[in-house]
């Protein structure tokens, strides 16, 4: 049995009268790529926001690496080791690529206002380490050539990679990617797939939302399917693919 990294049970998230997540539970094991699929409006991004602290769930339980993160603040969640990217890219548009990644180091560095004002030796050394780490991550995702470009001027594919580098800068044990391949051409998608495999091989567990079913089936170790805020299936891709409930809800009834 693989080691459990993240476990949620009975998560309920309501927006007024709308139940966006209805009693959702899932477990993510250490080292796997875990896929989350479902039709539009099924609650995938809502679940993502709950898992990264941006939304407070109404009910349920949420533990990660042995720590209780139920209704924890985003910075606590990040500190515990969950980092994310956004479906509609949310970079700091006017900062350079390098600065964006450096912001990601915030939670793993300490210098306070006093240290900054006095510019102590420790602050200077930390600042150098932050910059070095940021360069390293830009190289890791393959965009160090555009380090000094402002984020908004980067190409779409580079922006996606920069978001991943920024998330990796927080040293996550779980990297949550919200539709990273959206809007990419097949070539870019293939490159992205390689990048995700590389990240997983380096010991980071990945939670992935994606519409590209082919990509998901080839990449994920396990997949959960959401529909109308409920989990309707979970398991290895082959089983999920053949689950009649999934076919009906997500893939539609086959006509061929």
Partner 1 sequence: MAMANNKKVGVILASAVVLAVMPFLVGGALGNSWVRILDFSLLYVMLALGLNMVVGFAGLLDLGFIAFYAVGAYTYGLLCSPHFGLHLPFYIAIPIGAALAAFFGILLGTPVLRLKGDYLAIVTLGFGEIIRIFINNLNAPVNITNGPQGINLIDPIEVGGFSLGKTFELFGLSFSNVYLYYYMFLALTVGVVIMAWRLQHSRIGRAWVALREDDIAAAAMGINIRNIKLLAFALGALSGGVAGGLFSAFQGFISPESFSLIESIMILAMIVLGGMGNIPGVILGAVMLTVAPEILRATIGPLQMAVFGKTLIDPENARMLLFGLAMVVMMLVRPEGAWPSKRRRMEFQDAKKGVTHG
Which DSSP string do the residues of 179-217 spell out, in sequence order?
STTTT--HHHHHHHHHHHHHHHHTT-EEEEE-S-HHHHH
Q: Tell me if 92 contacts partner 1 by CB under 8 A.
A: yes
**Calpha distance 83→181 (Å, rounded):** 17
In the complex, minimum distance from the CB of residue 160 to partner 1, in angstroms, rounded to a whole number: 11
Query: Does 64 contact partner 1 by CB under 8 A?
Result: no
**Closest among 145, 27, 154 to 92, alpha carbons compared:** 154
**Should residue 121 be labelled a site residue for partner 1 when binding is judged by CB under 8 A?**
no
Give yes or no for a contact between 165 and 197, defined as CB atoms under 8 angstroms apart: no
Q: Is 53 in the site for partner 1 (CB under 8 A)?
A: yes
Neighbour count for residue 113 (Cβ, 10 Å): 7
Q: Helix or strand or coil: residue 213?
A: helix
Per rule CB under 8 A, count of chain residues that contact partner 1: 45
103 scored as a contact of partner 1 (CB under 8 A) = yes
Q: How far is the CB of 61 from partner 1 (least distance, A)?
A: 22
Residues in the chain: 256
Instruction: Kindly state whether residue 113 participates in binding partner 1, applying the rule CB under 8 A.
Output: yes
Nearer to partner 1 (CB atom), residue 40 or residue 88 = 88
158 binds partner 1 (CB under 8 A): no
What CA–CA distance (Å, rounded) separates 42 from 225?
9
Is 94 near partner 1 (CB under 8 A)?
A: yes
Query: CB atoms < 10 A from the CB of 144, how many?
Result: 17
Is the CB of residue 155 less than 8 Å from the CB of residue 84?
Answer: no
Sign of the Cα pseudo-torsion (156, 142, 97, 73, in order): positive
- Residue with smaller CB distance to partner 1, 116 or 190: 116
Pairing of β 33-37 and β 205-209: parallel
Task: Say whether residue 241 binds partner 1 (CB under 8 A).
Answer: no
**Is residue 104 near partner 1 by the rule CB under 8 A?**
yes
From 109-117, 200-208, 211-219, 234-242, span contacting partner 1 (CB under 8 A): 109-117
**Contact call for residue 254 and partner 1 (CB under 8 A):** no
Query: Where does this chain bind partner 1 (CB under 8 A)?
Result: 52-54, 73-75, 78-79, 83-84, 86, 89-95, 99, 102-107, 109, 111-113, 115-117, 119, 123, 126-127, 130, 150-152, 159, 166-167, 169-170
């Amino acid at each position: 049995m693989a080691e459990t990294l993240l476990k949620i049970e009975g998560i309920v998230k309501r927006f007024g009268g709308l139940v966006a997540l209805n009693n959702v539970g899932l477990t993510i094991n250490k080292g796997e790529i875990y896929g989350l699929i479902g039709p539009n409006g099924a609650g995938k991004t809502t679940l993502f926001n709950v898992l990264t602290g941006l939304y407070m769930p109404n009910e349920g339980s949420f533990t990660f690496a042995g720590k209780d993160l139920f209704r924890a603040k985003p910075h606590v969640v990040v500190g515990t080791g969950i980092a994310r990217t956004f479906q509609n890219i949310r970079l700091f548009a006017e900062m350079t690529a390098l600065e964006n990644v450096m912001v990601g180091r915030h939670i793993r560095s300490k210098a306070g206002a006093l240290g900054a004002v006095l510019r102590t030796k420790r602050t200077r050394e930390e600042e150098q380490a932050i910059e070095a780490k940021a360069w390293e991550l830009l190289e890791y995702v393959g965009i160090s050539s555009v380090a000094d470009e402002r984020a908004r001027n980067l190409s779409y594919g580079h922006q996606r990679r920069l978001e991943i580098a920024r998330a990796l800068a927080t040293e996550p044990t779980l990297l949550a990617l919200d539709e990273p391949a959206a809007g990419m051409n097949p070539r870019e998608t293939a490159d992205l797939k390689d990048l995700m495999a590389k990240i997983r091989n380096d010991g980071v567990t990945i939670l992935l939302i994606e519409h590209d079913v082919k990509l998901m089936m080839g990449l994920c170790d396990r997949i959960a399917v959401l529909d109308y805020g409920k989990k309707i299936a979970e398991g290895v891709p082959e089983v999920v693919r053949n689950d009649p409930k999934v076919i009906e809800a997500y893939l539609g009834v086959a006509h061929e």
